[in-house]
Chain A
Amino acid sequence: MAATIPTNGLGLASGLAITDGDLTFASGHGISFAADAHGGGMASELFDDYEEGSYTPTVQTSVNTAGTSTAVGNYIKVGRACYASGYIICNNATSFDGTASRTLRIGLPFTSVNTTNLYQGGWTFGYYTQVTLDSGYYGLVGYTVPNEALIRIIQQANAGVFSLKEGKMNNDDFAVMFGGWYEIA
C-alpha cells in the first residue's frame, strides 16, 4: 500500500477511475447506497459481499443421501442473493433411502434466510429423467424453507402441488438439472 489516509476519509467530487488493480474493502464494509431513496421495508443499503464458486449438490431425503456418479454445482453470491445451479446423476437412487414415502430434496451451498413463512419458490428444473410423476402431475418445481440449505422438490398439477417421493424414482440413474435464486442468511 503506497499511502494510507488515517482519518476523515477521502471525498471525490468527480468520480473515480481505477486503471488497474482491484478496489478492496475490509470485511463488513462495501458500497453504501444510503443516499438513495429506499422502500419502507428496507433492511440494508450496504453492498458488502460478492463471491462465486462451486459446491457439490446432493439428492437427499430427511434421513439419507443418494450416491452420485455426477454432482456438479456452481453459485454466485451477490450480497445476500444467491444463484445456484447444478446437475446431478444418482447411481443408487431407487435404494438409497429404502422408504418410498420420504420426500426428495436437493442440497444448496448456503442456508436460506431466517424469515418466518418466507418459502422461496424460485427454482426451476430444466431437465429430469428416470422418475414417474403421480397421475395428473406434469412437472417439477421446488421451494426452500427458512433456515435450510435445501430445495424441496414438488410435483405440479393444475389442481395443486404434491411432494416428489423417493419411491417415484424408477431407475438408479435418476438425474436432474436445476437452477434458481434464493435469499440466504
Chain B
Amino acid sequence: MAITKETEISKIEVVGPYRAVQVRTDTVIKEDGTEISRKIHRKVLDSDMDISAEDAEVKAVANAVWTDAIKAAWKTQKESDPKG
C-alpha cells in the first residue's frame, strides 16, 4: 500500500477590472494511485503583491495582465476609503 501526496494548481483565474489573480491549489492524497482525499486552498493575488515565491505559471499569468495602468488603478482603488 503506497500513500502519496501531490500538490497541484488546479485553477488560475483573472478576475475583474484590476486583474486579480485567483489561485486554487489542490492537495491530493492517493492510496495505490486512487484518490482518497482532496483539500482545496485558495488565494487572491493583487498587482501590489510580491509574487516572487509563486509558481512559475502563476507568475507568468500575473505578469502578463498586471500592466502599469492596472497597477496604478489598483493602487488608487486600494488607497480609497469610500465609506470610511
Q: Which residues of A contact B (CB under 8 A)?
A: 51-56, 62-63, 75, 103, 107-111, 114, 119, 143, 145, 147-150, 152, 154, 161-163, 185
**A62: chain B residues within 8 A (beta carbon):** 75, 78-79
Given A114-B16, A147-B77, CB of A56 within 8 Å of CB of B82: no
The answer to whether B20 and A53 touch across the interface, beta carbons within 8 angstroms, is no
Kindly state whether residue B15 has any CB partner on chain A within 8 Å: yes
Interface size, B (range): 20 to 34
Q: How far is the CB of B57 from chain A (nearest CB, A)?
A: 19
Q: Which residues of B contact A (CB under 8 A)?
A: 15-18, 20, 22, 24, 39-44, 46, 48, 75, 77-84
Choose one: A52, A63, A150, A162; the contact of B84 (CB below 8 Å): A162
The answer to whether B43 and A147 touch across the interface, beta carbons within 8 angstroms, is no
The answer to whether A75 and B42 touch across the interface, beta carbons within 8 angstroms, is yes
What does DSSP make chain B's interface, helix, strand, loop or mixed?
Answer: mixed
| Residue among B40, B48, B79 having the largest count of chain A Cβ atoms under 10 Å | B40
Closest residue of A by beta carbon distance from B40: A53
Q: Give CA–CA (A52, B38) in the complex, Å.
A: 11
Q: How far is the CB of B50 from chain A (nearest CB, A)?
A: 9
Given A114-B17, A147-B18, A147-B20, CB of A108 within 8 Å of CB of B83: no
**B22: chain A residues within 8 A (beta carbon):** 110-111
**B82: chain A residues within 8 A (beta carbon):** 119, 145
**B79: chain A residues within 8 A (beta carbon):** 62
Closest residue of B by beta carbon distance from A185: B15
Q: Give CA–CA (A111, B43) in the complex, Å.
A: 10
Given A147-B18, A149-B20, A185-B16, CB of A53 within 8 Å of CB of B83: no
Closest residue of A by beta carbon distance from B43: A55
